[in-house]
Amino acid sequence: MKPDLNIALLNAAQEIISRFSPLVEDEYERSRLSSWGALILISAMKLDEAGDSLDKENRDIIEWLLSNSRIKENELEALKSANSGNNNISFLDENNQKLRRILTDEVEFLESDGQRAKVLSAYELFRSMHQRRKVSDLVGLLQQNSD
């Protein structure tokens, strides 16, 4: 990401959290505004990592599909070669959505087929994917703001 964009997002978050939020009298609305400021701050700090995270998630899904599903490597070749790490976030996200759809369909098939071990393995993959997308940093940032 361009440093100018990171700086602009960081400045916007700082303005929202430190200047505008205290001016809002309604406590609920002030809390909401602070939350939005914190989300912008987290976005600025983590956007550079987003591409790498999506690329890793895509590779993890492909690896799981190749070893645990009826999907063949040639069916995933277009998505596999696209995840070379040199693509923009929009492209990686588009592939991620396609892979997640394929993964979900495969899990549904495995559930109906009674393949419990593979389904449990898929749930582990889903958990790791969910873990990467958590924004638990938000709580700490909001607590710092209220101190």
Q: What is the pLDDT along the chain (147 residues), one digit of tens a residue?
A: 455 677 788 888 888 888 888 888 889 998 888 888 888 887 777 766 777 788 889 899 999 999 998 888 888 887 775 555 556 777 888 888 999 999 999 999 999 999 999 999 999 999 988 887 665 544 444 445 444
| pTM, two decimal places | 0.62
Beta strands in the chain (DSSP E): none
End-to-end CA distance of the chain: give it in Å, rounded.
32
| Cα–Cα nearest to 9, from 35, 38, 52 | 38
Q: Report the sign of the C-alpha dihedral through residues 64, 68, 74, 78, in that order.
A: negative
